[in-house]
Structure 1
């Protein structure tokens, strides 16, 4: 896989930071059409369960984002429920999956 450009590498850093702060198993970050970034970590409460990507997308939408250029999912699953939310808003947004160290995963 080709190296990430600077903007996508920034998303990886933001996603890993959110994951680390929350001590969560995964993290995510999105970049909206204006270049603003939003990050989130997985939430696992007895009353609320969200994937990291769901958190990042919801935060962006709640902040007024109308679409997305790209998303990064660190340590998440291929079938992450946040992918559906991302596609509902921007089906052409690039999605980059990485391992827990931020290394891109093919596929």
Structure 2
């Protein structure tokens, strides 16, 4: 068993030193506090990751926004196409003279 590069013998030594320093009554309390703190960090990390991923998926990239035309530009393009089509319809066909 190897956790954070610490093997079983090293963990036993650390536990023995903790038992001597804090005593048998405070050691379980410190373990609970440490466990709750680590669980809080883990929960906060998961929440942050979930929020970050949802922000990335819902937010469109700048390239997509640049490619998509705005409604005003679409309307102007349609109006421009209609006026140019009207101009073509009013223009004389090739070979016809404009003088009547």
Q: TM-score, normalised by structure 1?
A: 0.26
Q: Which structure is higher in helix share?
A: 2
